[in-house]
Amino acid sequence: MGARTEPRYEQGAYLHDLRLRWGPLYEQVLGLFGATTTIIPLGDPFYGDINSTTGCATVLGASGLATTFAYIAAPTAYTTPFGIPSGITGGAPEFEIVPGNSQYLRAVDAAYWTRALAPMSIVMWVKITNTAGIRALFSKAEDATAREFELYVDASDFLTFKTWDETANVSAKRVSDAAIPMGRWAQIVMTHSGVGAGANAAGNIALYVDGAAFASTATGDAAWVTMQDTTARVYVALSLSSGSADEYTGSIAGGPLGPTFVQAELSANQVLRHYRMTHPYIYSGI
């Protein structure tokens, strides 16, 4: 029996193959999470030019937000240049981010993101570098007067979601009780019912890792009433809540596994189903 010959893919045919593989997964994620879902498809050439700073257009449900997340630096010019997955695996794009090189994304302010006493969820696949300092994942926070929320990993590698009431100039947060996985791919999810104020302002936030609830502790503030609608822009891999840049270090998955925002509190079952659905598309590191 002769040696097996692998099929040869020209660029156009390969991109078409990715479209066939990724297209149904976008629809599956939208179907699972519902009409208010917005996916940021990092690195998908069908939604933006990875050779420029133009950015990527969002993939959305019927009530999601049509916007563009600008690449502040062109992904192909990153310290580790971005490339579409090799071979014919159909794996998700991987963005390897090195701080200090403008390797983050930004979108304009919109009412869609402000969840004043309203539910919200954030879903990401990440491979976090174990390094000192805060590593911001997803935020709507700029300087000390325009802060709404941020999802980040703190200096102890604890996953944290913080939300502000700028009128009272106070915050509430939920922090994982232990360090989350470093140096390998992990599904990270934050869900918030939108209910709660004062000492219980973070009481209805939940954190998940790899499809399972992750033990965490809430801290509120008696003066916290509600998230305020500010002019802050929205960031992936950066937060400016402290007035200085807290940058992410590590990798973020893109395409249909890209950062996802939902105007709903995802259930534990939805989180687990998303993990099972998307895990096979993580093409390295697991």
Phi-psi region of 187 (alpha: psi -120 to 50; beta: other; left: phi over 0): beta
pLDDT of residue 99: 78
Angstrom distance (rounded) from CA 28 to CA 277: 8
Q: Taking the complete model, does pTM exceed 0.85, yes or no?
A: yes
Helix ranges (H only) for the chain are 11-33, 268-278
| DSSP character string of 13-51 | HHHHHHHHHHHHHHHHHHHHH-TT-EE--TT-TTSS-TT
pLDDT of residue 48: 87
Distant-in-sequence, close-in-space partners of 217: CB < 8 Å, separation ≥ 6: 174, 175, 177
One pLDDT digit (tens) per residue for the chain, 286 residues: 444 444 444 455 667 777 888 899 999 999 999 999 999 999 888 898 888 888 899 999 999 999 999 999 888 888 887 766 544 455 778 888 887 788 899 999 999 999 999 999 999 999 999 998 999 999 999 988 899 999 999 999 999 999 999 999 999 999 999 999 999 999 999 999 999 999 999 999 999 999 999 999 999 999 999 999 999 999 999 999 877 789 999 999 999 999 999 999 999 999 999 999 999 888 543 3
Which residues sit opposite 128 in a β-bridge? 250
The span from the first CA to the last CA of the chain, in angstroms, equals 34
Angstrom distance (rounded) from CA 162 to CA 8: 48
Q: Is 41 exposed, middle or buried (0-12, 13-18, 19+ CB in 10 A)?
A: buried
pLDDT of residue 114: 97
Element (H, E) at 159: strand 159-165
In contact, 202 and 130? CB cutoff 8 Å: no
User: What Å distances lie between residue 79 and 74, 76, 98, CA to CA?
Assistant: 11, 9, 7
User: What Å distances lie between residue 36 and 91, 107, 138, CA to CA?
Assistant: 25, 17, 18
